[in-house]
Amino acid sequence: MRRWASWLALCWMLCGLAAASPAPPDPAPAAASGPEILVMLHLPAPHLRADGYSGAGYRDDAGRQARQRIAAALAREHGMRLLEDWPMPALNVDCYRMRLAAGQDAAAVIAALARDRRVAWAQAIQEFTLQSGTGPAGDPLYRVQPAAAPWQLLQLRKTVTGRKVLVAVVDSGVDASHPDLAGQVALQENFVDGQSYVAEEHGTAVAGVIAARADNGIGIAGVAPEARLMALRACWQVDGATRCNSFTLAKALNYALQHHAQVINLSLSGPQDRLLQQLVAAAQARGIRVVGAIDPQRSDGGFPANSPGVFAVAADDAPAAAGLALLAPGRDIPTTMPGARWGLVSGSSYAAAHITGMLALLGQLKPQLAGAQLREGIVRSSGRAPLTGVDLCATIMRITGKCSCACPNPTDNLARTP
């Protein structure tokens, strides 16, 4: 009888534990799908997190379970379905993805959640697009790189290569097995829901511009060929376009912060987004350089390029953006393509990748330089290299006092960036 009583007590205890830890809800059927939103719940202050909570390892601790119960209650109260959650310790919040019922007014639900003291904030999930122009074209192996001669990349490699600078490429999938990228990818993660990591054109092309291997007898050489890449797949290729959203991008940015990226490349654009804006600001507060591609279809350049402190970049054939952004090569750029191929690409995405490579070089030379000083040190070309917008050799000489290429006097006919 005592043994039977013990078993009965154990069963009651296990049932109680199961009730305290609700299973993750199933996705809503497609036919009943409404819009999706993100709901942020406050985390305790870092010094109060006795369970070792962090974004790198999302532990199944009591605090997390309590926040899950709050999120589940909010979903029930507002007729939503809880789909997924993700830690954002850089912002001191947990992020919950929820789907509204068909016909629900997302703005009304978000407004109601904003009045709830349990909620840090709520927002819509927004879409972002990558800033490529024309797609791959021309011969698979094209040896002429527009930045190679004006930026004197061959001469610069004698003294600076971006060695060990960690660059986060938040993009579509990168082909880490490409002959020009083999060994260049230090970390590879997938943040796209319901899909496995796949190599895609945009991410692979951006990665090649930044850090393709040099002196290997094939293909191209990246601007910073010894930088280390974090290939963070937050975007996906569909119907000839490449798209991302607030949640996938936020997860990738949070990962980049948690894993000590030194430069973050965002060759994409979209509307203002509170969650992403705060993550970009958190990155800048840690000294991380953030690069964004100008969207020529948006009067303000689009987010993140229009955010304070972001290195906004436009293609050098877009003079209308000259006063708003750095200019870099953005047309007919030879670069890496999935499947051991090379091709030509165009768009501000690839101009941004050039500036990311430049920042990796400067990160090797002056890793502790404040962002404002770095921005002040960038030199625009004026006549001598009209197709690149930035004079890389003069910039290195101004910032470091040294240059391994044929550097002009940085004060002659050159203008500082605004």
The top-scoring range by mean pLDDT among 13-22, 39-48, 118-127, 398-407 is 118-127
Residue 46's contacts (CB-CB under 8 Å, 6 or more residues apart) are 89, 92
Whether 1 shows a pLDDT value over 70: the answer reads no
For residues 315 and 329, give the distance between their C-alpha atoms in angstroms, rounded to a whole number.
Answer: 6
For residues 221 and 153, give the distance between their C-alpha atoms in angstroms, rounded to a whole number.
Answer: 9
Q: How many CB atoms lie within 10 A of CB 171?
A: 28
Virtual CA dihedral for 234, 213, 292, 38, nearest 10 degrees? 10
Query: Is 349 an annotated catalytic residue?
Result: yes
Give the pLDDT band of residue 33 (cuts 50, 70, 90): confident
19-125 and 129-416 in the same fold: no
The DSSP element (H or E) to which 88 belongs, if any, is strand 80-88
Q: If you average pLDDT over residues 170-195, what whole number do you get?
A: 95
DSSP type of residue 213: -
User: What are the domain boundaries of the chain?
Assistant: 19-125, 129-416
Give the pLDDT band of residue 74 (cuts 50, 70, 90): very high
Query: Can you give the pLDDT at residue 228?
Result: 98
Query: Is 259 an annotated catalytic residue?
Result: no
What CATH number was assigned to the domain covering residues 19-125? 3.30.70
Q: How many CB atoms lie within 10 A of CB 118?
A: 13
What CATH number was assigned to the domain covering residues 129-416? 3.40.50.200
Query: Can you give the pLDDT at residue 357?
Result: 98
Give the pLDDT band of residue 30 (cuts 50, 70, 90): very low
Least confident of 9-18, 212-221, 327-336, 393-402: 9-18
Whether 233 shows a pLDDT value over 80: the answer reads yes
Torsion sign across C-alpha atoms 248, 249, 251, 256: positive
DSSP type of residue 270: B
Q: With beta carbons less than 8 A apart as the criterion, state whether 265 and 356 touch.
A: yes
Whether 134 shows a pLDDT value over 50: the answer reads no
Q: Which of 172, 307, 349, 381 is catalytic?
A: 349
Q: With beta carbons less than 8 A apart as the criterion, state whether 293 and 313 touch.
A: yes
Q: Which of 202, 273, 332, 391 is catalytic?
A: 202
Query: Is 171 an annotated catalytic residue?
Result: yes
pLDDT top residue among 246 and 241: 246
Mean pLDDT of all residues belonging to the chain? 83
Whether 117 shows a pLDDT value over 70: the answer reads yes
How open is the CA angle 339-170-293, to the nearest 5 degrees? 100
Unique residue bearing structure tokens 């798209």:
243
Give the pLDDT band of residue 45 (cuts 50, 70, 90): low
Unique residue bearing structure tokens 């094939």:
218
pLDDT top residue among 178 and 380: 178
Share of the chain above pLDDT 70, in %: 79
Q: With beta carbons less than 8 A apart as the criterion, state whether 228 and 184 touch.
A: yes
For residues 264 and 128, give the distance between their C-alpha atoms in angstroms, rounded to a whole number.
Answer: 16
- Indicate the SS3 state at residue 287: coil
Give the pLDDT band of residue 380 (cuts 50, 70, 90): confident
Whether 242 shows a pLDDT value over 50: the answer reads yes
Unique residue bearing structure tokens 């949640």:
247
Whether 306 shows a pLDDT value over 50: the answer reads yes
Whether 324 shows a pLDDT value over 70: the answer reads no
Q: Which of 171, 175, 295, 391 is catalytic?
A: 171
Whether 383 shows a pLDDT value over 80: the answer reads no
User: Structure tokens of 300?
Assistant: 């303000």
pLDDT per position as a tens digit, 187-196: 999 999 888 9
Unique residue bearing structure tokens 């936020």:
250
Q: If you average pLDDT over residues 76-94, what whole number do you get?
A: 93
Query: Can you give the pLDDT at residue 381?
Result: 80
Peptide bond before residue 29 is cis, with ω within 30 degrees of 0: no
